[in-house]
Chains A and B, each alone.
Chain A
Amino acid sequence: MRKKTMWRLLATLFAITLAASACGGSDSSSDDSTASDAGTAEETEVTLAASGGSLLETIIDRGTLNCGVSGSAVAFSELQADGSMAGFDADYCRVVAAAILGDANKVNFVSLTAAERFTAVQTGDVDLLMRNTTWTQSRDSSVGMDFGPTTYYDGQQLMGRASDGFSGSSQVSDVGGSVICTSAGTTTEKNIADAASEAGVSIELQTFEDFDTVTNNFISGACDIITTDGSGLVGRKAKQQPDGENWVIFPATPISKEPLGPTYGQNDSAFADAVNWAVYATIIADEKGVNSSNVDDMLANGDTETIRLLGGEGELQTEMGLSSDAFYQVIKQVGNYDEIYSRSLNPVGLSREGSANAAWTDGGLVYAPPAR
């Protein structure tokens, strides 16, 4: 009796095992993530080393671009009240998505802190960074990143009050004895210390957790001067300068160079080309006067380079692994460089005119190689 029961039990057990492994064998890789949440369940994690192919194909297969942004950088990538991501960097994520996927909205924005951004690229959590990342020698070499064309030329400057005797033509040598504030743990701290010792003046440097706190201390008078990238200072001045005060930004030539642009993992030419030329396309379009409203017209009646760029003769794009109308979609859906710039940066008081971000024809640095 007992033996019989035992056998029956074992038979049942065996049957269950069979049933389970039968279901399990077929699609274990695609469905093997019960514990993982929502949006990522489908995502296949691919690192370059593992797949051997280009990220470009992976993104096209996946159908979305994972773009790393800051999420809290005024005018560059800011989360709006309705939860959407807006700003200059966010729009450049859309540019890349429009070029690769044909749809500017196929972007999955991942908000990253400065500390985790490079790890996120290396582990494949994001495909590229549009995150106010300065192009430096060490990042390009030892950190293992590659950098695309600079989309915004920034540089560290200082901001003081006109009532303290500062003006736009002040130099670092004029700030001796001032309390200078900046946010902690960034290179701005080191830059200003170096610049002050070079100029031979002694300053009192104070650091705070974030730049909101720094600005509040400047407003309350605890800091004489604050320093960070010029784009940040202009924005603060435009938005937070109280009535009756005059804040001035100096020196005219920034104390550091901060070229900002797309950043991605190294040694992936196909993906790098796609990103770079998507950015170049916005610059060339600006140069040729092609914008989102007249792009259809220009596709028919523009000059040869314009037509080539917009996909009239599509070989250049298709050879890169993109669809022939890739850059047409970029301009149509997101706009040219000037449109992207004005949309996000003009409202905070940053204008292209006279800055390094003017087109090369206007004396700026924004320049793209020819599309041919």
Chain B
Amino acid sequence: MPELNPIVVEAGIGETGPPQQGVNLSVRQWLRTNLFSNWFNAILTLLGVFAALLMLRGVLNFTFSENREWDAVRTNLRALMTLSYPESQYVRVWVAVGFVMALAGMSAGIWANWGGVSVKRMSTWLMGSGGLFALCVLLREPSVILDSEGKVLRTVEGSLQRESVWAAMTDRLGWWIAAVVLITLGAAIWAWCSEPDRRNNSVAVTTVVFSGLGLLVLSLWLVPYGHYAFADGTYIAVPGRTVAFSTKMPWTVMWLLLFGLYFVGRSFRDTRWQGIVRGSSNFLWLISPMALFWVVLRDPALDYAHVLSTDLPMGLAFGVLGGVLLWALTRSDLGEAGRLTAVGLLGFAVFNWVAAFFGLYPMLQKARISFLLVALAALLAPNFIGEVAKRRQLILGWLSAMALVHYMATMMNTPSTVDIQSSEFLGGLGLTLFVAVIVVLLSFPLGVLLALGRTSKFPIFRMLSTSYIEIIRGVPLISVLIFFSVMVPLFLPDGMELAELAAVLTGYTLFSAAYLAENVRGGLQSVTKGQYEAADALGLTAAQRTGFIVLPQGLRVSIPQLVGQVISTFKETSLLAIIGLFDFLRVANSVIPAQSEFMGVKREGILLVAMIYFFFNFTISKYSQRLERRVGLGER
């Protein structure tokens, strides 16, 4: 952990941005100081480079070998992304992706101050990638190595017998040209901005990202990646054409959404709408995973008679009566009666849940949840006693929470119209991302609560949290998942059932929360006692002290561990395969090799899966580094 290293900390003082000490050295000086400072280092460097090149060559030979069946991956791309989602309703998937793109663009516009990348740095990237390209072209073995008399010396796995080294290199002319173009371009830009007055030229990160993505999307229209698509249930493959219209059109729209909403977001910046837009985009980020999954992708078939006769009146009753109750509870002349009522309500809510398990007291699940929420809101109510505006805040919050809960519950409870002959309507990357996002979102608040509980002064909270965390941490994730998918359904009362996915989400969230709690606790413990005392001296309540003083500092310190937790949560979703869900990896590992057309072809798919996992995790990791810099972690 760099923030604990005193040397790094010292070097970081007084500097903004990344450490600059390497910039003034020439390439030769840099090599000498960093890689060849003494003979031992030189040997290590050479060995390391040799090993790296050897590995790179292995990967290249594997990837471009002629008996790789990349067709298996191409044909199954859609299966890898969404598995069984029906073609006729595929527009729903695009709507979901588009919504996320639009939201991302909006947030980037309204929130982010990404800063710039210096042009000189970009030129080194260009040259570097050109060099890497050239290296790859050079490294990859020719399919067959011939000796001077044209006799075959050695064949590389599964190749056509045609190439000498020279023939191989000329064969790859296109790649050579690409490498040369990249290097020349980079060198030209480097030379251009070496002039003193252009040295500090930079381009905004957003420009770089958007134009990079734009180029990718443009390449879909121009470069002959090959035309692979399903049309009316049959699969059509035409290599040598640009990708299918049903691929390039949606991605163009996605890019336009991202790009367009960025400007919309930016136009709201520093206006009086800024606060509202920021608030609502945060809110949308929070609810969009569930709403997209259960409403957009599932397309519930609402039974309007039932909605009007039961769901709507019930939601209204809870909203209105709960609102009236909360209004009464926030009166300033209420005294202890408010607390008593809240505790009474909590008891009633808990009783409902307990009763449900013995089948004693039939009631809609929604009502149970609502009663619990009423009780929690009532417990919170004393914080809102005071002027009318404050009380109105609570009531509005309550009404919107009720609207959201009842809407989502109704939607989840309604059967899907998505016509699918499988037990889960979504699989592949879609399922992996959904599970990862939901688990991270849900386990975060739970984890923070557990961490607070474990550091609490009250023995009962401390003991409960500690035992929860220790029990969960003492059990491997796989057994938690199996427990929730196999055992828990047996414990449920008659008539109550838990779908596989819901069971898994519950189990995984509970598991992840325990680990998250320990990460957060580490952060909380780094907050010095002086901070607590200062907060007490200011007369803050315990809740205010936690919310305004302790948590912000504690969470800031735990960013690296929290990000580590997010990444491992994302990767461990691959364990879902064991309890029968078709996650991304399982599609590559056991669905594709079982197709009679691609029997036994699994390495190609797994390579792709590994690359996509890496892309996501590297992005998360990079973003967290930015976040750390922004909150000044490690510079204090």
Contacts and interface: CB of A to CB of B under 8 A. Distances in A.
Contacts of B83: 79, 83
Contact of A35 (B420, B502, B587): B502
B318 A82 contact: no
Contacts of B43: none
A328 to B, nearest CB: 22
Interface in B320-368: 321-322, 324-325, 328-329, 331, 333-335, 337-338, 341, 344-345, 348, 362-367
A16 interface: yes
B498 interface: yes
Interface stretch (A53-61, A232-240, A354-362): A232-240
Contacts of B328: 5, 8-9, 12
Interface stretch (B45-53, B74-82, B100-108): B74-82
Contacts of B79: 79-83
Residue in B414, B497, B594 with the greatest tally of chain A CB atoms within 10 Å: B594
Interface in A75-117: 75, 78-85, 87, 105, 107-113, 116
Contact of A38 (B321, B325, B499): B499
B324 A12 contact: yes
B129 to A, nearest CB: 33
A262 B489 CA distance: 26
Interface in A212-260: 212, 215-216, 235-236, 239-240
Contacts of A370: none
A32 B365 contact: yes
Given A5-B331, A24-B367, A216 B600 contact: yes
A1 B84 contact: no
Nearest to B496: A32
B496 A74 contact: no
B405 to A, nearest CB: 10
A32 B353 CA distance: 13
A27 interface: yes
B310 interface: yes
Given A5-B331, A13-B341, A113-B580, A33 B314 contact: no
Interface residues of A, number: 73
A116 B79 CA distance: 24
A37 interface: yes
B416 A13 contact: no
Contact of B596 (A26, A41, A43, A78): A78
Interface string A313-347: 00000000000000000000000000000001001
A16 B294 CA distance: 28
B591 A72 contact: yes
B502 A74 contact: no
Nearest to A42: B415
A9 B328 CA distance: 7
A52 interface: no
A16 B377 CA distance: 15
Contacts of A75: 596
A301 interface: no
Nearest to B591: A79
Contact of B421 (A6, A20, A84): A84
Contacts of A123: 489
A81 B595 contact: yes
Nearest to B342: A9
B425 interface: yes
A347 B596 CA distance: 8
Interface string A284-306: 00000000000000000000000
B370 interface: yes
Contacts of B59: none
Interface residues of B, number: 82
A109 B363 contact: no
Given A78-B596, A108-B421, A212-B600, A37 B412 contact: yes
A32 B493 CA distance: 11
A2 interface: yes
A210 interface: yes
A5 to B, nearest CB: 6
B423 interface: yes
A16 B345 CA distance: 11
B337 A23 contact: no
A81 B84 CA distance: 8
Contact of A20 (B85, B317, B338): B317
A32 B368 CA distance: 11
Interface in B393-432: 409, 412-416, 420-425, 427
A48 interface: no
A29 interface: yes
A212 B593 contact: yes
Contacts of B338: 9
Contacts of B379: none
A31 interface: yes
A27 B303 CA distance: 14
A34 B366 contact: yes
Nearest to B408: A34
B286 interface: no
Nearest to B72: A81
Residue in A8, A16, A72 with the greatest tally of chain B CB atoms within 10 Å: A16
A31 B413 contact: yes
A194 interface: no
Contacts of A9: 325, 328-329, 337-338, 341
Residue in B365, B369, B416, B422 with the greatest tally of chain A CB atoms within 10 Å: B422
B501 interface: yes
A85 B591 CA distance: 11
B12 interface: no
A51 interface: no
A33 B599 contact: no
A35 B294 CA distance: 12
B413 A111 contact: no
B580 A112 contact: yes
A38 B425 contact: yes
Contacts of B524: none
B22 interface: no
Contacts of B489: 123
B85 A83 contact: yes
B591 A71 contact: yes
Residue in A1, A37, A123, A216 with the greatest tally of chain B CB atoms within 10 Å: A37
B313 interface: yes
Contacts of B580: 111-113, 116
A82 B600 contact: no
B233 interface: yes
Contact of B595 (A10, A31, A80): A80
A74 B592 CA distance: 10
Contacts of B423: 39-40, 66, 108-111
A81 B333 contact: no
Contact of A111 (B76, B366, B497, B582): B582
A105 B421 contact: yes
B332 to A, nearest CB: 11
Interface string B549-577: 00000000000000000000000000000
Contacts of A49: none
Contact of B594 (A25, A34, A42, A72): A72
Interface string B138-180: 0000000000000000000000000000000000000000000
Contact of B599 (A15, A84, A110, A235): A235
B78 A27 contact: no
A16 B349 CA distance: 12
A50 B206 CA distance: 62
B235 A82 contact: yes
Nearest to B86: A83
A34 B365 contact: yes
A72 B598 CA distance: 12
Contacts of A16: 317-318, 321-322, 325, 371, 374
Interface of A: 1-2, 5-6, 8-10, 12-13, 15-17, 19-21, 23-29, 31-43, 45, 66, 71-75, 78-85, 87, 105, 107-113, 116, 119, 123, 210, 212, 215-216, 235-236, 239-240, 344, 347-348
8 contacts: A2-B333, A9-B329, A31-B413, A32-B362, A36-B497, A71-B591, A83-B85, A108-B421
